Chain A
Amino acid sequence: DADVTQTPRNRITKTGKRIMLECSQTKGHDRMYWYRQDPGLGLRLIYYSFDVKDINKGEISDGYSVSRQAQAKFSLSLESAIPNQTALYFCATSDPGTGGNQPQHFGDGTRLSIL
């Protein structure tokens, strides 16, 4: 079984719909992250969480919200989806480490298409 599991793997929906992407991990890591990947733009950070009570905005948080339901679960919501949120979304986890020296471990991604 994958250490970082994202559901669904693919989703097609319509503009204005509320969407939730889920992420669960079995690595026991405290830190979890949500990124979006767009062709030619690399990965951009949406939100991150260092523990259940800690939520932080990333570079591109507008239009998104998150919930850290447990150490192992971190969900991303689009309250009212719009077409330019069509992208590949990744969840990642890491140990705290020191000053960012710990690598991140990624799920296989959710491909989201908004019509």
Chain B
Amino acid sequence: AQSVTQLDSQVPVFEEAPVELRCNYSSSVSVYLFWYVQYPNQGLQLLLKYLSGSTLVKGINGFEAEFNKSQTSFHLRKPSVHISDTAEYFCAVSNQAGTALIFGKGTTLSVSS
């Protein structure tokens, strides 16, 4: 069965610093991978997705992620963060049957000045 591990529960960074949020997945079949962001008191919003093709995926708000099949990872990166990027970030993988998403436990990104 598929599973998702987000390696850091909290990531504190200073404004304009680069950030990487790490996500590993386990699956015996080809998968589709997603990153979502949750701002306070809001629902989840899609940041980016990997379906196939180029392993470097660009999303909204300057985020990008790299799919690495050999390391079963899908890490999220941003070269320079803003205060407004403070939020919780979730990595998700489609389940084997393609019927639902399996979410990681989330990483809280805290950006301070």
Contact = CB atoms under 8 A, between A and B. Distances in A.
Contacts of A43: 44, 90, 103
Interface residues of B, number: 24
Contacts of A101: 32, 51, 94, 98
A108 B90 contact: no
Contact of B45 (A35, A97, A106): A106
A28 interface: no
Nearest to B30: A99
Contacts of B36: 106
Nearest to B9: A40
B43 A99 contact: no
B104 A42 contact: yes
A16 interface: no
Given A42-B106, A101-B32, A101-B51, A90 B43 contact: yes
B90 A48 contact: no
B5 to A, nearest CB: 11
Interface residues of A, number: 27
Contact of A42 (B41, B42, B90, B98): B90
Interface in B61-103: 90, 94-95, 97-101, 103
Contacts of B51: 101
A58 interface: yes
A112 interface: no
Nearest to B91: A42
13 contacts: A4-B43, A42-B104, A42-B105, A56-B99, A58-B100, A90-B44, A100-B95, A101-B94, A104-B101, A105-B46, A107-B43, A108-B42, A109-B42
